[in-house]
Structure 1
Amino acid sequence: MKDGELLSGTALAVFRLNGQFLEVSERMARPVGLTAAWWQVLGAVLREPLPVSGIARAMGVTRQGVQRIADLLAGKGLAEYVPNPAHRTAKLLRPTEQGRAAVRRIGPAHADLAARLADELGPEEFAATLRVLERLSEAMDAIAVGEAGADSAR
């Protein structure tokens, strides 16, 4: 296969996989009153509070999109903004106990899907899939950085 065909095939597979993950995430999140996007933003701040820009970077989406969801989560009492010691104006988002509880309620469905995927793929192939996807993302980041430098040199 030529490079262009490999890129097209990879992109189409990733787009399809993204759609599949969004669909199953919506099905898991809906019964607890969340959407897949709300769950994704809450999940990004479970370990530590982050500014909206940090959440957007981690998720690979726009800051404006995350800001809209963060504001909705805060308005529904699922998350809250707290002061950021490193930056006066960029507040940190953190889940409230209500938000953490909602994510915990998704846990059994999440664990079931993980077990079913592990059964289907096998543990080694499942782990290899993660490594390949992470490496692909790193390569895309490296190319984007290279393109940004090339653009500014023009």
Structure 2
Amino acid sequence: MDSKRTSEGDAFAQFSIAVLRLAGHLQVAGDILAKPAGQTSARWQVLAAADHAPMSVADAARALGLARQGVQRIADLLESEGLIAYRDNPAHQRAKLMELTAAGRAALADIQGRQAIWANSNGAAFGEARLREATAVIAEVLAALGS
């Protein structure tokens, strides 16, 4: 078995490491943006998923690429704090749909306001064309890896 990487393999390995490092930085930035609203990056993701459309915890987990159990734990915390409510799901008797409450919408809007300023600043620094090209490559890799 040949264990030497090709130049393409080296490029993919470097790409993978860069994406993982970026994910870590984005997690920290998300936590910073969400903290004034009393939230974390993970909680923000679940709030945003519930705002996108009424969806079950399992649907949100799939959309976010996270484990259902982790999303369930966060959703239950958000529900106990009055930020989301569970409602009946006509498509599935046991899998309730998450829905933002007024307090949840307010918390999400608070975070989204800070995120817009942050995103606009970073978007201007890197340029729309470059960012869209990078996004396309990442989406292509995700599709190829089955995510």
Alpha-carbon distance in 2 for matches of 1:52, 1:30:
23
Q: Aligned pairs, how many?
A: 142
Q: Tell me what 2:104 maps to.
A: 99
CA distance in 1, matches of 2:34, 2:121: 18
Q: Give the superposed CA RMSD.
A: 1.4
Q: Offset of 1:2 from its aligned partner?
A: 2.8
2:143 to 125, 129, 138: 138
- For structure 2, which runs of at least 5 residues remain unmatched after alignment? 1-5
Specify the alignment match of 1:46 in structure 2. Answer: 51
CA contact (8 A) 1:81 1:91 kept: yes
**In structure 2, what is the equivalent of residue 23 of structure 1?**
28
TM-score, normalised to structure 1, is 0.86
1:108-147 mapped onto 2 (5 Å cutoff): 108-141=113-146
The Cα offsets for residues 30-84 of structure 1, whole Å up to 9 and x where unpaired, read as 0011111000011112121111111111111111011100100101101111100
- The residue type equivalent to 1:33 in the other structure is G
The question of 1:84 aligning with 2:124 is answered: no
Worse-matched range after superposition: 61-70 or 115-124: 115-124
Q: Whole-Å Cα distance in 2 between the matches of residues 113 and 135 of structure 1?
A: 26
Give secondary structure in 2 for the equivalent of 1:45. Answer: helix
The letter for the 1-side match of 2:136 is R
Q: CA deviation at 1:109?
A: 1.5
Q: Supply the distance in 2 between the matched residues of 1:19 and 1:104 (Cα, whole angstroms).
A: 24
TM-score between the two structures when normalised by the length of structure 2 = 0.90
Runs (4+) of structure 1 exceeding 2 A deviation are: 1-4
Given the alignment, which residue of 59, 65, 73 partners 2:64?
Answer: 59
